Amino acid sequence: MATTSAPTTAVPVSDVFTRQPESLWRQAIRAFFRQRSAVLGLTIIVLLVLVSIFAPLLAPYDPEQVLIGIENVQKRSVPCIHLFGCPADQPQHIMGTDGNNRDELSRIIYGARISLYVGFLTVGFAILIGVLLGAIAGYIGGWIDNVLMRILDVLLAFPALLLAIAIVSVLGPGLINAMLAIAIVSIPAYARVMRASVLSVKQEEYVQAARVVGASPIAILFQHVMPNALSPLIVQGTLGIGTAILETAALSFLGLGAQPPTPEWGSMLSAERNQLFSAPHLVFFPGLAIMINVLGFNLLGDGLRDALDPRLRR
Amino acid sequence: MLQYIGRRILTAIPVLIGVMLVTFAMARMIPGGPCVAMLGEKARPETCARFNAEKGFDRPIPVQLAVYIRDVATGDLGTSIRFQRAVTQIIIERLPLTMELGIVALIIATIIGVPAGIISAIRRNSAIDVGTMVGANVGVSMPVFWLGLMLAYIFAIQLKGTPFQLPPSGRLSAGVTSTPFFEVYGWSATKGTLLYSMYQFIANFYLLNSLITGQWSVFRDALTHLLLPSVALATIPMSIIARMTRASMLDVLGRDYVRTARAKGLTNVKVIMAHAFKNALLPIVTIIGLQLGSVFSGAVLTETIFGLAGVGRMLYEGITARDYPVIQGFTLVIAFGYVAVNLVVDLSYAFFDPRIRLE
């Protein structure tokens, strides 16, 4: 704490007492940037966001363009980088070409868009529903709380990916349905966080006071409960984005998520997995991209948890 | 303690009933219905009517549900539409593989994860600590299917011809068969009886079966086949276990009783193992138990990659083929197993920490 390790040089007494204390958010931001791994996570995500925004400028080819007849390349050709001695008369493909003669690098670059879109949308939806359910359960309590929580317990009784597979099979394969399935599977986690926060502040005197002066439940929820629930939700959500990306990629890998020719990393990997022994680069790069992306969110989530929880700050 | 166990089992019952209802409903919500799935899109309506009448799909939903609950209660999980075989029989054949895979994976995850976490905590902020935590972060971020394929590429192709070569698919090499222990020992059981089913179930754990009958070449072969898939499956649990162990140890190492133990002049090893680790164990045990769920999820992917006919793969195939009895039966078994594991974790918690059962 800054106040306990006061500098030895003389500080005017009046200054110590009148100075505004640093806000909790400012402290959290400072604590966040002190962690190298968190900064690394943030950097990865910022880079990925930039890559997805500027994908048309960065990608050397259209991700869905088949290069037969346009260039003299074989399908599944190994990476060709001019800088590293690839003959100049051959077209440059930094990550090689895939089984349909498309530039792998361009597909990986565009894949970042889909990956981030999947992560944010899925978790956004799950948080929305989860917060609503958790708030209702925690605030109203009684049998409604009991019923809601038992339903969520049933959802948690299934291994997440298996439940998601079952949901997709009901909805039909496709990226949107896969995202919906992953969102449904992750609702219980957010509902529980929200419910716990509601329960922890419900009996506080300032909430009782607000109720006495006639504040509506909605107002109490937004003014008193949400600020308390915000930091665990941010942490859970950030880590959840990583999980959502990983699980959606897994569904795509099983053929239940994004369908060809969408440049989605999981389905790109799946399409070439039988060529593992002849063209390993087509399995290696999409998987590496998924890993880096998920790693970014995991590092950021861990960093946020340490920064937002004053007890964990050191 | 008994009272606590009883109470905890009672709270699991509504969840299990819920699981049964969800499985039943989900299987019926899959579009197309079993007739179209089995006989194709062009199946004639009268053929489908006959098919549905034969399988009982034309009865009202509540009747189907009642029949389903009665059957489950008597241990009958129905007959696979696709294979025309009892679902319980398929489970007897496939569950041991998934359990063996999961157990080996959890053992690998624990014997690497726990010591890594302890060392990280003791040498906090050292190079070992940073390295372990970076490794753990990368480990949880890696797609299981990608790691599995990469391992297969390295150990089956790149290391071909070296002593480190490992097979990329299957349970046993061609020509190797595991003789069931009851045949080896000449124990007789009539086919179709419960005893025979139990014998078969146990014999399908190839590692266990070859171990108790001394078929060493089969044991070695089964183990080498299991190594790559279980390492792939172990990475995420291993990373989570290492992180949890580190956090739990750090928490305990700062406590007064650890300082007292040091002040008494105990050796470092004794302080860490007898005083710190023993108290840090609780959350570690919990997290290891909870990883079993992620192991089941990962099994679908690992079994797909390594060509293993386990529960995960079977369930996935059942869903795509709309084989209702298989979907219901397998989901039920997996969910029951999951709930049972959570129950055991909770009970172990109460066993290790008396404060919990007295609440």
Q: Name all domains of chain A by residue range, CATH numbers in brackets.
A: 44-53+110-312 (1.10.3720.10)
Q: Report whether A139 contacts A249 (CB < 8 A).
A: no
Read off the DSSP letter of residue A9. Answer: S
C-alpha distance from A160 to closest chain B C-alpha (Å): 7
Q: Could you state, in chain order, the average pLDDT of each consecutive group of 10 residues for chain B (359 residues)?
A: 80 83 80 72 81 82 87 86 88 92 93 94 90 92 94 92 89 89 86 86 93 92 94 93 91 87 87 85 83 80 91 84 82 83 79 67
**CB spacing of A276 vs B149 below 8 angstroms:** yes
CB–CB contacts below 8 A, A to B: 129
Q: Tell me, what amino acid is at A16?
A: V
* Mean pLDDT calculated for residue range A122-137: 94
pLDDT, tens digit, for every residue of A234-272?
Answer: 889 999 999 999 999 999 999 899 998 899 999 999 999
Chain A residue with Cα closest to B11: A150
Q: Report whether B29 contacts B322 (CB < 8 A).
A: no
B91 touches chain A (CB under 8 A): no
CATH topology for the B88-358 domain: MetI-like fold (1.10.3720)
Q: What is the pLDDT of residue A19?
A: 67
Q: Is a pLDDT exceeding 70 seen at residue A15?
A: no
- Mapping DSSP to helix (H, G, I), strand (E, B) and coil, where does residue A73 land? coil
Q: Is a pLDDT exceeding 70 seen at residue A105?
A: yes
Which candidate, A53, A177, A73, A65, places its Cα nearest to that of A118?
A177
Q: Is a pLDDT exceeding 70 seen at residue A5?
A: no
Q: What is the pLDDT of residue A229?
A: 79
Distance CA A87, CA A105 (A): 19
- Mapping DSSP to helix (H, G, I), strand (E, B) and coil, where does residue A303 land? helix
Percent pLDDT > 70 in chain A is: 92
Contacts of B13 (CB under 8 A, 6+ apart): none
Residues of B in contact with A151 (CB under 8 A): 18
The sign one gets for the Cα dihedral A175, A178, A180, A186 is: negative
Q: Is a pLDDT exceeding 70 seen at residue A8?
A: no
Phi, psi of A121 (to 5 degrees): -65, -45
Centre a 10 Å sphere on the Cβ of residue B89 and count the other Cβ atoms it contains. 16
Distance CA A223, CA A207 (A): 10
Percent pLDDT > 90 in chain A is: 42
Residues of A in contact with B134 (CB under 8 A): 37
Could you say which residues from 22 to 81 on chain A have a Cβ atom under 8 Å away from some Cβ of chain B? 37
Q: Mutate which of A154, A292, A306 to test chain B, going by most B C-beta atoms within 10 A?
A: A154
pLDDT, tens digit, for every residue of A109-126?
Answer: 999 999 999 999 999 999
Could you say which residues from 292 to 331 on chain B have a Cβ atom under 8 Å away from some Cβ of chain A? 293-294, 296-298, 300-301, 304-305, 312, 315-316, 319-320, 322, 327, 331
Contacts of B128 (CB under 8 A, 6+ apart): B119, B120
Q: Of the candidates A153, A160, A242, which has its C-beta nearest B15's C-beta? A: A153
* Mean pLDDT calculated for residue range A150-175: 85
Q: Report whether B212 contacts B83 (CB < 8 A).
A: no
SS3 string of chain B?
CHHHHHHHHHHHHHHHHHHHHHHHHHHHHCCCHHHHHHHCCCCCHHHHHHHHHHHCCCCCHHHHHHHHHHHHHCCCCCECCCCCCEHHHHHHHHHHHHHHHHHHHHHHHHHHHHHHHHHHHHCCCCHHHHHHHHHHHHHHHCCHHHHHHHHHHHHHHHCCCCCCCCCCCCCCCCCCCCCCHHHHCCCCCCCCCHHHHHHHHHHCCHHHHHHHHCCHHHHHHHHHHHHHHHHHHHHHHHHHHHHHHHHHHHHHHCCHHHHHHHHCCCCHHHHHHHHHHHHHHHHHHHHHHHHHHHHHHHHHHHHHHCCCCCHHHHHHHHHHCCCHHHHHHHHHHHHHHHHHHHHHHHHHHHHHCHHHHHC
pLDDT classification of A202: cutoffs 50, 70, 90: confident
Read off the DSSP letter of residue A92. Answer: P
Distance CA A260, CA A274 (A): 16
**CB spacing of B334 vs A277 below 8 angstroms:** no
Distance CA A308, CA A26 (A): 10
Q: What is the pLDDT of residue A311?
A: 63
- Reading the block at residue B71, the tokens are 């059957």
Could you say which residues from 127 to 186 on chain A have a Cβ atom under 8 Å away from some Cβ of chain B? 150-151, 153-154, 157-162, 165-167, 169-170, 172
Q: What does pTM read for this prediction?
A: 0.87
> Would you kindly state where each structural domain of chain B is located, as residue ranges?
13-73, 88-358
**CB spacing of A273 vs B149 below 8 angstroms:** yes
- Reading the block at residue B28, the tokens are 């019926």
> A196 versus A129: which is more confidently predicted?
A129
Place of tokens 């593989």: B97
Residues of A in contact with B153 (CB under 8 A): 276-277, 280, 283
Read off the DSSP letter of residue A59. Answer: -
Q: What is the pLDDT of residue B169?
A: 87
Q: What is the pLDDT of residue A313?
A: 53
Lowest-confidence range among A1-5, A172-176, B134-138, B191-195? A1-5
Read off the DSSP letter of residue A90. Answer: S
**A240 class by beta-carbon count within 10 Å (0-12 exposed, 13-18 middle, 19+ buried):** buried
Centre a 10 Å sphere on the Cβ of residue A289 and count the other Cβ atoms it contains. 23
Q: Of the candidates A37, A154, A286, which has its C-beta nearest B22's C-beta? A: A154
Q: What is the pLDDT of residue B104?
A: 93
Chain B residue with Cα closest to A150: B15
Q: Report whether A229 contacts A287 (CB < 8 A).
A: no
Place of tokens 């007739």: B35
How far are the Cα atoms of A155, B184, B345 from residue A151, in angstroms, in the given order? Answer: 7, 48, 21
C-alpha distance from B13 to closest chain A C-alpha (Å): 11
Q: Of the candidates B137, B316, B319, which has its C-beta nearest A295's C-beta? A: B137
User: What is the per-residue DSSP string for A140-192?
Assistant: H-HHHHHHHHHHHHHHHTS-HHHHHHHHHHHH-SSHHHHHHHHHHHHHHHHHH
**CB spacing of A165 vs B315 below 8 angstroms:** yes
Cα–Cα–Cα angle for B73, B74, B80, nearest 5°?
Answer: 95
* Mean pLDDT calculated for residue range A26-48: 90
How far are the Cα atoms of A161, A207, B298 from residue B312, in angstroms, in the given order? Answer: 10, 48, 8
Which candidate, A113, A141, A137, places its Cα nearest to that of A50?
A113
- Reading the block at residue A133, the tokens are 């359910």
Residues of B in contact with A288 (CB under 8 A): 146
- Mapping DSSP to helix (H, G, I), strand (E, B) and coil, where does residue A89 land? coil
> A216 versus B147: which is more confidently predicted?
B147
Chain B residue with Cα closest to A256: B320
Distance CA A196, CA A287 (A): 36
Beta bridge partners of A80: A93
> A14 versus B195: which is more confidently predicted?
B195
Which candidate, B226, B204, B205, B210, places its Cα nearest to that of B101?
B226
Contacts of B5 (CB under 8 A, 6+ apart): B347
**A89 class by beta-carbon count within 10 Å (0-12 exposed, 13-18 middle, 19+ buried):** exposed
Read off the DSSP letter of residue A256. Answer: S
Which candidate, B239, B225, B232, places its Cα nearest to that of B291?
B239
- Mapping DSSP to helix (H, G, I), strand (E, B) and coil, where does residue A101 land? coil
